[in-house]
């Protein structure tokens, strides 16, 4: 049972444009959501997170939106840069479990 | 601050052997979680330790075990290795059980 889903395996955007990565979840008990960026054979790098009490969190070029009623979150990267090319994972957790449930990942390619 | 470190970075074992992987968390972090990444199953939670106690466990067989020491360093052990255990094993540490910071991983190849 995939509780966290990233339905787009890949995304290609032009440098300078907006990248929008999407994530859906099924478990209404999730109360903390994170986005990670990952290169092959390396550990995920934390990008940005959002608590379920908020609907938006912004950090530089990265903004995460949370729609609890739709059980959907998205990561916006503006403007996209070639260095953003990587696999992006969304993850969800329930308070105080130390357990992250990951989506399958979306490969982002930013073309110069 | 130094990040999460994992040793060794690469490991080759044969079926039936056992392996121990080590993780040193970020200084001050008391929670350590372990994950397995494979092409077929993605990133899956193994277990989490806090103050030397396992507080949460994923859906893995008993061959996978771990422990945490008083300095928060953690080890995970896999006994009777199978070919399917070939994976990238990731350790993550956190202070407040929310944002987890990952190490570079240990790449295990079972032949």
Is residue B41 over pLDDT 90?
no
Report the residue from B94, B99, B105 with minimal CB separation from A43. B105
Whose CA is closest to B43, among B9, B87, B79?
B87
B71-98 tens-digit pLDDT: 999 999 999 999 999 999 999 999 866 7
Report the residue from A43, A96, A104 with minimal CB separation from B90. A43
pLDDT values of chain A reduced to their tens digit, one per residue, 112 residues: 689 999 999 999 999 999 999 999 999 999 999 999 999 878 999 999 999 999 999 999 999 999 999 999 999 999 999 999 999 999 999 877 789 999 999 999 999 9
Nearest chain A residue to B104, by CA: A43
| Element of type H or E holding A14 | strand A10-14
Chain A partners of B50 at a C-beta cutoff of 8 Å? 98
A17: how many CB neighbours lie within 10 A of its CB?
Answer: 13
Q: What is the pLDDT of residue A1?
A: 66
Chain B partners of A101 at a C-beta cutoff of 8 Å? 45
Confidence of residue B110 (pLDDT cuts 50, 70, 90): very high
């Amino acid at each position: 049972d995939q509780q966290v889903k990233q339905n787009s395996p890949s995304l290609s955007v032009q440098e300078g444009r907006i990248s929008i990565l999407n994530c859906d979840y099924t478990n209404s008990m999730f109360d903390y959501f994170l986005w990670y960026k990952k290169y092959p054979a390396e550990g995920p790098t934390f990008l940005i997170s959002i608590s379920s009490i908020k609907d938006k969190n912004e950090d530089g070029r990265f903004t995460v939106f949370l729609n609890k009623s739709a059980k959907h979150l998205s990561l916006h990267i503006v403007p996209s840069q070639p260095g953003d090319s990587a696999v992006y994972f969304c993850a969800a957790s329930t308070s105080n479990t130390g357990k992250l449930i990951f989506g399958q990942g979306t490969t982002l390619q930013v073309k110069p | 601050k130094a990040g999460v470190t994992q040793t060794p970075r690469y490991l080759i074992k044969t079926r039936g052997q056992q392996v121990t992987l080590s993780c040193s968390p970020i200084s001050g972090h008391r929670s350590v979680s372990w994950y397995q990444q494979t092409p077929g199953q993605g990133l899956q939670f193994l277990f989490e330790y806090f103050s030397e106690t396992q507080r949460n466990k994923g859906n893995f067989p008993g061959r996978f075990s771990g422990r945490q020491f008083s300095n928060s360093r953690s080890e995970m052990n896999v006994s009777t290795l199978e070919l399917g255990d070939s994976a990238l094993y990731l350790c993550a540490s956190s202070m407040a059980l929310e944002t987890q910071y990952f190490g570079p991983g240990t790449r295990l190849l079972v032949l």
